[in-house]
Amino acid sequence: MSPLDPRTTAAAGTTVNPVTEAGRMAPKDYDAVLLASFGGPEGQEDVIPFLRNVTRGRGIPDERLEEVSHHYRANGGISPINQQNRELKAALEAELAARGIVLPVLWGNRNWAPYIPQTLQEAYDAGHRKLLMITTSAYSCYSSCRQYREDIGMALTETGLDGRLEVDKVRQYFDHPGFVEPFIEGTAAGLAEVRAQLAAAGSPDAPMHILFATHSIPTRDAEAAGRSEAEPRDFEEGSAYVAQHLATGAAVMSRVEAESGQTAPWSLVYQSRSGAPHVPWLEPDINDAIEELAGTGVKGIVIVPLGFVSDHMEVVWDLDTEALETCSKLGLAAIRVPTPGTHRTFVSGLVDLISERTLSNNISDRPAMTKLGPWYDVCQPGCCANFRGEKPTIAGADTTVGTGHDAYPAATAGLAGGAGIQ
């Protein structure tokens, strides 16, 4: 099937939870939540140092960095991501307080202040010993999961806190209802809005198409995503990263159709490719897809930023500036649906994800809207590896830092027996 052939909604999984012991960590009495994110520049003078942090040792061509620096420069050198994380942190604190859960929320970034090692040191100095990390990325791949696990592993090593501070992470939440519901709401509203635009232009029945957009990654990273050296699983298109997006897209579509009576053909497309031209990354690019669809007579596009948690630079530039411009250049009606951001349902879902790690270890308490989930608390050996050499990691069955591994026997016993890994 060509990547742009419309997907059907029939494959949508409903709330099916394969009951699996594997990869689950026993509940713990965490004493703080760590909100871990990407980080972004907060002024023109931060732009280049930030980009150097992001791309260190990554082989990103200078021309690409130059180009990306303009996206930030055009916005005063400021990425929206830090402000959004401040708002998410405040919203999480409010929701925890409303539920009577006494857990402070600490914030640390991979690429800009407050940096993760500094946050860990401050947490330890303030008396915290067991942190539960939530990252602002929902899917499985090196950039969105393992790199966070490594950054914590390295920070614990570098600060000398290894063995004194435990850091675990909540499962990847791509198919958690808290993450998916805002997209269902947004897609239904987006379809109605584009239909109204088309009607106002005199063609109420013109064909529309939904594009679920996510970050492109190298195909090699895509193949390694969610893999286990011990228990290989077969993922659609050979990648857990791709399969998770396809399954979540299908889940969104079946709910949109059931609840709003609207539908349209849909596809998964990619954006923000970087890297050297000879290195293959996931395709098609969203702009190429829009051109191709226009050529087939599509008149309206709904862009759903399914791969992203907040309206940061990759969304406001690559989608709102570039992709919507491509649509308008081709005379297409179009809209970009909001990300979960600080949507009540998303914030409440994140607190549910925290609660399932502190209160209960019952798999039936773990909602998942696709057949791929609920995803693991503890990643399997080799999961999302990126072939750049071994680094210390947390929250893995092969982990040797962070002291979390003293709670692994239950999880790894499941793994060794292969229980429930499909």
Ligand X SMILES: CC1=C(CCC(=O)O)c2cc3nc(cc4[nH]c(cc5[nH]c(cc1n2)c(C)c5CCC(=O)O)c(CCC(=O)O)c4C)C(CCC(=O)O)=C3C
Q: Does residue 217 belong to the site contacting ligand X (CB under 6 A)?
A: yes
Q: Kindly indicate which of the ranges 12-20, 176-184, 309-317, 359-367 contains the residues binding ligand X, using the contact rule CB under 6 A.
A: 309-317
Q: Kindly indicate which of the ranges 27-35, 269-277, 330-338, 349-357 contains the residues binding ligand X, using the contact rule CB under 6 A.
A: 269-277
Which residues ranging from 77 to 96 are in contact with ligand X (CB under 6 A)? 79-81
- Binds ligand X (CB under 6 A): choice among 175, 314, 352, 377: 314
Q: Kindly indicate which of the ranges 23-31, 101-109, 288-296, 307-315 contains the residues binding ligand X, using the contact rule CB under 6 A.
A: 307-315
State which residue, 82 or 412, has the beta carbon closest to ligand X: 82
Which residues ranging from 32 to 51 are in contact with ligand X (CB under 6 A)? 38, 40, 51
Q: Does residue 68 belong to the site contacting ligand X (CB under 6 A)?
A: yes
Q: Closest approach of Cβ 5 to ligand X, in Å?
A: 24
Q: Does residue 133 belong to the site contacting ligand X (CB under 6 A)?
A: no
Residue closest to ligand X when measured from CB atoms = 274
State which residue, 150 or 314, has the beta carbon closest to ligand X: 314
- Binds ligand X (CB under 6 A): choice among 128, 195, 299, 312: 312
Query: Which letter does DSSP use for residue 155 in this model?
Result: H
Q: Kindly indicate which of the ranges 15-23, 134-142, 177-185, 349-357 contains the residues binding ligand X, using the contact rule CB under 6 A.
A: 134-142
- Binds ligand X (CB under 6 A): choice among 32, 188, 247, 313: 313
- Binds ligand X (CB under 6 A): choice among 144, 267, 326, 380: 144
Applying CB under 6 A, which residues contact ligand X? 38, 40, 51, 54-55, 58, 60, 64, 68, 79-81, 136-137, 141, 143-144, 215, 217, 272, 274-275, 307-308, 312-314
